[in-house]
Structure 1
Amino acid sequence: MNVVKLLEYLGDIVDTSSKVPLSNKVMVNKKEILDVITQIMSEMPEELKKSQWILSEKDKILNDAVKEANEIKKQEIETIKMQIDKHSITLEAEKRARKLLEDAENEAKQIKLSALHYVDELLCHLDSQLDDRQEQFNEKVQREAQSLSINVQNDFNSIREIIKNNISEIREVK
């Protein structure tokens, strides 16, 4: 007898037993109940082993199915990625990106060349201004040097004149 049949038999015993008046209780044959419980207990280990094996097999099957599903999912994602990479929209987008990058590099070169040209013009203008200022400075220095030379010469001439007068006076005194 298996456990389920024994449990059903135990239920029949309770259902067919005499009832205690004025209560929900029943009177059962203690020996008969204990015999059924003993039989259930003797069959339980085998039934438990079977149920545990069934549960472990169920878990193993589920785990294998999940692993297989994940592997299939991974393969499908890779397939989709490869299809996307080969798709004409992706290829067109990559082509546009390269063109935009090329245009940006060309524009950057033009801006750099324009900036270098502008700096070159500024430096040439500055060099020209420095030449003009140097020429003006040299002319001013020459004018001032000539003026100073004339003044020094005049001062020397005045001093010589004074010295000559002093010499004349000294010679007259003698």
Structure 2
Amino acid sequence: MNVVKLLEYLGDIIDTSSKVPLSNKVMVSKKEVLDIITKIMSELPEELKKSQWILNEKDKILNDAVKEADKLKRQEIETVKMQIDRHNVTLEAENKARSLVEEAKMEAREIKLSALQYVDDLLRQVDEQIEERQQEFNEKLQKEAQDLSVNVRNDFDSIKEIIKNNITELREVK
């Protein structure tokens, strides 16, 4: 079950629960609500684990790139030792090593930014869904409160009418 379905189910439980008379409260099964919350919590970490995996992959790629750059640098050092008289070769090797390191750093930055954007988008979506559910819940709660108020007013009016009729009957008996 995904988080949205679990939140909808939780909303349904609240909507269909027994109402406490003369209040805006409902009675819900503590165990059932806690079970749903536990399921929601177990669902959320999966999405967070995915984003953590992306961040770890970024680190791995950066480390691999640094290792590759180190490897290339060592190879270039060996080449330099063999061709010490060729100064241009040395300069090219250093430039190539710098270029590879810069490329690796840029790639790592891009992966990190992508991961952060993914997490940001995911959290924004969750926030929007929670906001929507809260708005729906508040609207339902307001409607139920208004309905309850009308019912209570009607009940009181009926009781007052009965009392007036009883008073009239008592006065006629005298």
Task: State TM-score, norm by structure 2.
Answer: 0.44
* Pair member with larger Rg: 1
